[in-house]
Amino acid sequence: GAGVSQSPSNKVTEKGKDVELRCDPISGHTALYWYRQSLGQGLEFLIYFQGNSAPDKSGLPSDRFSAERTGGSVSTLTIQRTQQEDSAVYLCASSSNFGNEQFFGPGTRLTVL
């Protein structure tokens, strides 16, 4: 079956622009996660959705970051007024429920010039 997909695979933007990253989870997975991985670094947890709601948004780095999920499926991560330090690979994962095995998408590589 189809795995987790993310789009775009690569995004180059100018400092100060807004970007929107998309994640399509595995069908039927109620839990969806966003992470950020800077070059040579570990994964930084950003946010988790159970259905359409996010119980804890404290992992988002700043108020420029927001995320939503609609229909218990697709999720978008929006970064407003991008900064160079936002450059990283943004990974999305889904699982059948929180705490179960997570399946990752290929990530979106964001470069802010």
Partner 1 sequence: RKEVEQDPGPFNVPEGATVAFNCTYSNSASQSFFWYRQDCRKEPKLLMSVYSSGNEDGRFTAQLNRASQYISLLIRDSKLSDSATYLCVVNMGTGGFKTIFGAGTRLFVKA
**Chain residues that interact with partner 1, rule: CB under 8 A:** 33, 35, 41-43, 45, 48, 50, 55-56, 58-59, 91, 98-107
Nearer to partner 1, 14 or 40 (CB): 40
In the complex, minimum distance from the CB of residue 23 to partner 1, in angstroms, rounded to a whole number: 12
Contacts 24+ apart (CB under 8 A), 63-69: 67/34, 69/32
Nearer to partner 1, 17 or 45 (CB): 45
In the complex, minimum distance from the CB of residue 3 to partner 1, in angstroms, rounded to a whole number: 10
Nearer to partner 1, 10 or 83 (CB): 10
In the complex, minimum distance from the CB of residue 12 to partner 1, in angstroms, rounded to a whole number: 17
| Bridge partners (DSSP) listed for residue 35 | 45, 91
Do 1 and 101 form a contact (C-beta atoms < 8 A)? no
